[in-house]
Amino acid sequence: MILLFFAFPAAAGALIPFLPGLLRRNLGVFSAGVAALLFALAVSQIPEVSNGRYPSFTFPWVPALGAHLSLLLDGYALFFTLLITGVGFLIFAYSQRYMSEHPRRVKFYSWMLVFAGAMLGLVTSSNLILLYFFWEMTTISSFFLIGLFDSQEEARWNAVKALAVTILGGLAMLAGFILIYVTLGTFELTEIWSRGAELRDSPLLIPIVILVILGALTKSAIFPFHSWLPSAMVAPTPVSAYLHSATMVKGGVFLVARLTPLFASVPLWEWTLITLGLATLLIGGFLALRESDLKGLLAYSTISQLGMMVALYGLGTELAVKAATLHLMSHAIFKAGLFLVAGTIEYLVGTRDLRPLGGLAWVIPGLAAVAAVVSLSLAGIPPLSGFVSKEALIEASVASAGLSGWLMTAILVIGSAVTLAYSMKFLLGAFWGGRGDAVGPRRWAPLPLLIPPSVLALAALVIGVYPALVGAIISPAVESITQKPVHVSLYFWPGLTLPLALSALAILLGIGVYWRMEIINRLLAPLTTHLTLDLGYRYIVGLSCRTVPRIYLRLQNGDLRVYLVVIMAVVMALVAAGLLVSAPPPLADLAEGVNLGVLDYALAGLVTLGAVALLFRRRPLDLVLVLGFVGSLVAAAFALYSAPDLAITSIVVELLAMVLLMLALSRMLKLFNVSASRPAITLQALFSVAFGGLVTLLLLSVLATPQSPSISPFFIENSPAMAKAKNVVNTILVDFRGFDTLGEIAVVAIAALAIFVMVRAAKERV
């Protein structure tokens, strides 16, 4: 059953381009149906999960590497599954009308369903390698969704930026997972949770924490990695609504919560997440105040709210985990509603810029009512779900001990005030006041565009009035995070408490911030302008675009000898570094027991003579013949030392190589810079001698290293048992040395392709 959560939407997404006419015209309905079925399946699991019976599935994927297809639907996974499928259902239903005329609608629905499946796979994964696989699936699918208008440079640029930031963070996270495996010998989350003390005592704890935090921060757009998220607003509104409310940007928050049982007591984990989370709360909020684009404002709002959640999960107490989980749900509801409202405004009016808007409440009253509910929920105004979760957040910070708890409380109050201010900017700027230049006559919003955000607004109201309604999904989620039984009490009226007083203070401050918003924006403009990685990202890309071509033109100058020198220099540096690090055994031991005869010295002298002769030959035919002469002497050496199979192979290769070289050189002479200066030729000769000497040293080091007398018994004994094969040679090539064989094939294929390209290039120059 649990396999359906990611397999069903992914398969449906792959099927989208092949659907017949009727379904093809109703892709939104089809996709919404997929989400609805999964939501119903998730709802059916609430009783089981609430009673502590977690559905699971395990299938050996790559057992030798510890990678298994391990899925677990515990309380937190079920919580996210309900959000992903429930919000997804409404967004897909909304997109039926919104995307009806979109030229990329087939691509949109395909990637949206794959995206949903990847996110569902991520939250149900209980193996770190599988989690990383789905993590990158969300990254890749979001790349195609952000760049849906691939013909536009802005869409391509911003999609690549989102991909680059999140991919790099994902690689850092993978490195952290590998270090966890090195420490514990497992990727299974359930086993890792049970061995948390062992992990915390490991000397690798600090790099593990740093690498995992990097992955979480980049995915959830936490400062200083936040600049990619506003750029992603080039995507259609349904993509933005889904990405911001219940899917991709919540991935980092999910990871932080998942690993809270392991690192909650680690100071580096706690203080890094709290510090950067609270900084993101304020920075995202003040950046939202500056925005005049509705989706841009909501993007910075998402950044701010994500920072708040990360800080509370980083705090790690039971109250903090409860508050962060509750706010995560509230945020998914009101943020999806706000994005759908912004999309409807753009659909009906033709713009989402606040400057020409205003007075929409008198033109589209139904949409204004929905916008009021979801905006006030974001602002934390009773009796809406945002108020309940904000109270829980302040309560958790107040309960924290010491000065740090009060400092966190103060920042949360300021952040809540700024949240109210930009919520008022969204609501009052678009819907109240005089009619803007872009606002036309009174009209009604189409029901397909009004019903989905209305359902979200109703959910925000119902949960705000009766929060105990969601206790059945919040409690198991908190238990899964804290790894201990908890009792979650949710209520609308907390009584006359300190958190309520602080909430009231935040509302008063928020009104003041909105009233003096222009002054605050002017004062903070220098600070907020430079608090972004976007300038740094553009600088790095620009520097690469200027520097890389220069290096390329210097190295790729059309002279094959320059290419060979560069390759030799890199290989020599790597081999020399390896020899220095490995501390090879003394080479003097090789001289013991070595008896060389006259024939040995004669062969060595002839090989040396042939190699030196290559330096003084100019005609291609002479070079090929001398090279073949050296190769034949090497074959003779194989025969002399009782390796007739290698000798025969070497002879065949030499004959073929001579023929092929003659054919190739007859067409490739134009690629050689035959007028090279004498210093250049001398330098190349020195490189050749140094390269040969280093290879000789490497071979001698290998020979001086003690080796096992034979590994043949291992292959003979294990071929039938491990590979189910009797042919030991084939088993060695295909199974035991499969990657080695694959590498050899790849090298031959690349060499053949390179020769083909060079011959073709030389032919075109003639």
pLDDT in tens, 710-738: 677 777 777 777 777 777 777 777 777 77
pLDDT band at 18 (very low <50, low <70, confident <90, very high): confident
pLDDT band at 212 (very low <50, low <70, confident <90, very high): very high
Q: What is the pLDDT of residue 537?
A: 62
Residues 695 and 721 grouped into a single domain = no
Distances (CA, A) of 390 to 82, 121, 305, 692: 21, 30, 11, 70
Residues linked to residue 60 through DSSP beta bridges, in sequence order: 68
Pick the last residue of a domain from 263, 293, 317. Answer: 263
Q: In terms of domains, do 143 and 94 share one?
A: yes
pLDDT at 265: 82
Which of the pair, 439 or 33, is modelled with greater confidence? 33
What residues contact 461, with CB distance under 8 A and at least 6 apart? 373, 383, 384, 385
Asked if residues 176 and 208 have their Cβ atoms less than 8 Å apart, the reply is yes
Task: Note whether residue 546 is domain-resident.
Answer: no
Average pLDDT over residues 264-269: 87
Residue 532 lies in a domain: no
Provide the residue count of the chain: 766
Q: What is the pLDDT of residue 588?
A: 58
Q: Are 350 and 306 in contact (CB under 8 A)?
A: no
HSE, side-chain direction, 13 A CA sphere, residue 97:
16
Residue 535's pLDDT is 63
Give just the sign of the alpha carbon dihedral 666, 668, 674, 678.
negative
* Separation CA 717–CA 714 (nearest Å): 5
Q: Quick check: 541 pLDDT over 70?
A: no
449 and 339, same domain (yes or no):
yes
State the chain's mean pLDDT as an integer.
Answer: 82
| β-bridge mates for residue 59, sequence order | 69
Cα 577 from Cα 579, distance rounded (Å) = 5
Q: Are residues 357 and 283 in the same domain?
A: yes
Domain check: are 703 and 716 in the same one? no
Q: Which of 221-225, 366-370, 557-561 has the lowest mean pLDDT?
A: 557-561
In a domain, 533, yes or no: no
Tell me the backbone φ, ψ of residue 466, rounded to 5 degrees: -130, 70
- CA–CA dist 112, 177 (Å, integer): 28
Position 610 scores a pLDDT of: 79
In a domain, 544, yes or no: no
In a domain, residue 233? The reply is: yes
pLDDT of residue 209: 92
Assess whether 213 and 302 both reside in one domain.
no
Residue ending a domain, choose from 209, 232, 263: 263
Q: According to the model, what pLDDT value does residue 176 have? A: 92
With respect to residue 258, please indicate whether it lies within any of the assigned structural domains.
yes
507 & 629 share domain? no
352 and 448 in a single domain? The answer is yes
Does residue 177 share a domain with residue 114? Answer: yes
Instruction: List alpha helices for 400-497, DSSP H.
Output: 402-431, 447-465, 471-482
- Check whether residue 430 and residue 307 sit in a common domain: yes
- Residue 497: strand, helix, or coil: coil
The phi-psi region of residue 558 (left if phi > 0; otherwise alpha if psi is between -120 and 50; otherwise beta) is left
SS3 state of residue 764:
helix
Q: What is the pLDDT of residue 669?
A: 55
- Per residue in 553-572, pLDDT (tens digit) is 766 666 666 777 778 888 88
Same domain, 409 and 324: yes
Domain contains 77: yes
Number of domains the chain contains: 4
304 and 347 assigned to the same domain = yes
**What pLDDT is recorded for position 173?**
93
- Domain range for 147 is 1-263
In a domain, 531, yes or no: no
Stretch (H or E) spanning 577: helix 560-582
* Distance separating alpha carbons of residues 237 and 323, to the nearest angstrom: 28
How many Å apart are CA 638 and CA 644, to the nearest integer?
7
Strand (E) or helix (H) holding 553: helix 534-555
- Domain stop point among 707, 725, 747: 707
Q: Among 132-146, 175-189, 596-610, where is mean pLDDT lowest? A: 596-610
